[in-house]
Structure 1
Amino acid sequence: MRLIASDLQSGVERLGEMIAGARVIVPFTGAGISTECGIPDFRSPGGIWTRNRPIPFDEFVASQEARDESWRRRFAMEEVFAAAKPGRGHRALASLYRAGKVPAVITQNIDNLHQASGFAGEHVIELHGNTTYARCIGCGQAYPLDWVRHRFDGDGFAPNCTGCDEPVKTATISFGQIMPDDEMRRATALSQACDLFIAIGSSLVVWPAAGFPMMAKNAGARLVIINREPTEQDDIADLVIHDDIGEALGPFVAN
């Protein structure tokens, strides 16, 4: 039976009961979990995409100008990403991970904050990649951001790979870029195996990632959605909390 929490306290109490009774919990996180960490989201008023049109993958590949602009934007955000620390939501999920309740987290985020909160890297399933390093789109060679910055600042152009001469971009998934097969397979398996799936801070409109909550629900899991704004999947959730994510998950941070 769906329950939209009438207030934060009742929602947190019900969530605590569901967590206590769950055997395998799979969190699914979106940009909303990181906003209290100082990282702006993409879609809401004032978000990144209201100020800058996203650069699709095919445009990045085809245009040196688009690649230059992509890296200019990334380095303009460097202080924001570098200063961000895990928030209460990240720390609460890490507490459940250390307690053995959470085998891994599925995330749409690219900020590396789940790893910083205590998740082992192999237990963070990054559907949209990671912005803290770069990768050649041809051979897959990884590069540190400092390597890119040195070359970008040197001649003003986004660099190509030293091995295959293909463009180097942040290790993120852009619009029009193929989703990572391994991460999609792992996220599918986790969604179908858990008994509690918690969608946190996601608008649940970006597909195919938005399909995982529904997949978990269809496989028999209870579904919790924690998001400030309503989502299109609220109607199928067992519990919906429309409130601040840090406040909702803060009580589950282990001391």
Structure 2
Amino acid sequence: MSQGWSRSDRKEADRLMRRRKLEEKTRRQQIRQALQKAGGDRSLAEKALITAWPCLVNSEEVRSARRDAVRKKMEERVEPMEEIRAKVEMLVEAVRMAKYLVVYTGAGVSTAASIPDYRGPNGVWTLLKKGQAVSAGELSDANPTITHMALAKMHAEGLVQHIVSQNCDGLHLRSGLSRTALSELHGNMYIEVCTDCGHEIVRLFDVTEKTGLRRHITGRMCPTCSSQLRDTIVHFGEKGALEQPLNWAGALRAARRADTILCLGSSLKVLKKYPSLWGMERVRGKRAKLYIVNLQWTPKDGAAVLKVSARCDDIMIMLMKQLGLEIPPYNRGQDQIFHLATPLRPDELHSHSRRLLKQPSHDVSGQREEDRRSQSKNSTRTLRSETKAKSEKLEVESRRNEREGGVYSSLITQRTLDPGWFDVPLWGRQV
């Protein structure tokens, strides 16, 4: 803009610029609406608009293609059972042949415990972007899933050497997995740490009630040195510096030694940003072989030896059966969190309002019945979801058979799932 212009000239130029931007925005909206219609349904004015502005039309077509590609990546796809069985056989062989198997887990391993994922159709971030509310609930109601228990068993049998988790729900710890074999990169909702002496304290409730992004003080004091305690959660935009429970040292050692990496239930959009976890310092031919189990597209699909589009629990059931291993049921009486937990001091009893984890029953028969009910609840939820999905698939197939002679797609969107499956709270953690 010329320095010789008067103030009124500059104001008029700014007004004209704003007007042009508004006109272009309106024109783009009109073109976008016109392009959404079939050619024969467009009005004369819409046809003239498309003819008069070819550059804007091309730009909107490119934008539309990008939006469609993003939506397609967000779709949850379950492959046909025949393909899944064939891929599980390949996965079984990979597990047996692996000399050092590391497992990376994401929110998808916990969805069967009614803990939501983040980028699924009904995930936390997806709902927030749509302006929809995320219902509140108690994470203390969640128990380790089939996948958690299967991984703990595989570690005990020497088939899995280390697990790197993005989850903060503490379910890997509660499954009985050794803490030395676990890296919780984004923290653990049951653990708080002293800001001075580093003393680590396990609780039987979610310690993050008063914390948030760059606000980590929990309001309780260290029983060793009386300094303030902080949570261990790593939020988006933060860098985790705590030694435990993040255990980055263990994760990096495992990544360097790994010849096979199995990713379960993770979009990998966060983990891909950690090149040290993928052996990028190695030449391409000597990097760990990558296997992925996830319902959605991941940015690592192209690098994977095998990608299975299925639910983690379903795959782990088939995998363990072919490995000849029994998946142990979750037993609250053997949950190590109850042995690790430090009770609150009398003056701290009112420092939180979160529900405590239900204590294990001392009655063995009662405990077995409680565990049986817990497993039955998870199984019933899974069965209900699968039954609904199958019935809707059959209905869709029937309609398509009538119209198209039986052509049937295996793509499944979240609408075919039990809508209550992910109906759980937002607790602001990474994925």
TM-score, reference length from structure 2: 0.46
Task: Give the conservation status (yes or no) of the 8 Å contact 2:207–2:231.
Answer: no
Structure 2 gap ranges (5+): 1-78, 212-216, 327-431
- Equivalence for 1:223: 290
1:93 aligns with 2:151: yes
The superposition leaves residues 142-195 of structure 1 with CA deviations (integer Å, 9 ceiling, x where unpaired) of 55365969999xxxxx85344445xx5532111232224652232122112122
- Equivalence for 2:101: 25
**What one-letter code is carried by the residue in structure 2 that aligns with 1:170?**
D
Give the CA deviation at 1:15.
0.3
For residues 1-255 of structure 1, the aligned pairs below 5 Å read 7-50=83-126, 76-77=136-137, 79=138, 81-135=139-193, 140=198, 142=200, 144=203, 160-162=219-221, 163-164=226-227, 169-180=230-241, 182=243, 183-207=247-271, 211=275, 214-215=278-279, 218=284, 219-253=286-320, 254-255=325-326
Moved more, 207-216 or 120-129: 207-216
- Equivalence for 1:57: none
**Distance of aligned partners of 1:244 and 1:150 in 2 relative to their CA distance in 1, 3 Å threshold:** closer
Task: Give the conservation status (yes or no) of the 8 Å contact 1:197–1:213.
Answer: no
**What one-letter code is carried by the residue in structure 1 that aligns with 2:140?**
A
State the distance in 2 between where 1:150 and 1:12 align. Answer: 41
Moved more, 199-208 or 229-238: 199-208
As a proportion of its length, which structure holds more strand?
1
**What one-letter code is carried by the residue in structure 1 that aligns with 2:238?**
Q
- Secondary structure of the residue aligned to 1:129 is coil
* Count, aligned residues: 222
Structure of higher RCO (CA pairs closer than 8 Å, 6+ residues apart):
1
Structure 1 gap ranges (5+): 54-72, 153-157
- Secondary structure of the residue aligned to 2:232 is strand
Give the CA deviation at 1:211.
3.6
Give me the identity figure in percent: 29
State the distance in 1 between where 2:103 and 2:207 align. Answer: 33
State the distance in 2 between where 1:148 and 1:238 align. Answer: 40
Q: Please report the RMSD computed on the Cα atoms of aligned residues, expressed in angstroms.
A: 3.3
Moved more, 21-30 or 172-181: 172-181
**What one-letter code is carried by the residue in structure 1 that aligns with 2:105?**
T
**Distance of aligned partners of 1:241 and 1:51 in 2 relative to their CA distance in 1, 3 Å threshold:** closer
State the distance in 2 between where 1:150 and 1:188 align. Answer: 31
**Distance of aligned partners of 1:210 and 1:200 in 2 relative to their CA distance in 1, 3 Å threshold:** farther
The superposition leaves residues 181-229 of structure 1 with CA deviations (integer Å, 9 ceiling, x where unpaired) of 6522321221121221101111011156654663278543211011111
**Distance of aligned partners of 1:116 and 1:145 in 2 relative to their CA distance in 1, 3 Å threshold:** closer
State the distance in 2 between where 1:86 and 1:193 align. Answer: 28
**Distance of aligned partners of 1:192 and 1:246 in 2 relative to their CA distance in 1, 3 Å threshold:** same
Moved more, 233-242 or 171-180: 171-180
State the distance in 2 between where 1:240 and 1:114 align. Answer: 23
Task: Give the conservation status (yes or no) of the 8 Å contact 2:119–2:126.
Answer: yes
State the distance in 2 between where 1:108 and 1:18 align. Answer: 23
**Distance of aligned partners of 1:126 and 1:203 in 2 relative to their CA distance in 1, 3 Å threshold:** same
State the distance in 2 between where 1:43 and 1:135 align. Answer: 30
Give the CA deviation at 1:133.
3.0
State the distance in 1 between where 2:291 and 2:276 align. Answer: 12
**What one-letter code is carried by the residue in structure 2 that aligns with 1:160?**
G
Structure with the greater alpha carbon radius of gyration: 2
State the distance in 1 between where 2:173 and 2:251 align. Answer: 17
- Secondary structure of the residue aligned to 1:91 is helix
State the distance in 2 between where 1:99 and 1:114 align. Answer: 16
Task: Give the conservation status (yes or no) of the 8 Å contact 2:232–2:242.
Answer: no
Task: Give the conservation status (yes or no) of the 8 Å contact 1:136–1:161.
Answer: no
TM-score, reference length from structure 1: 0.73
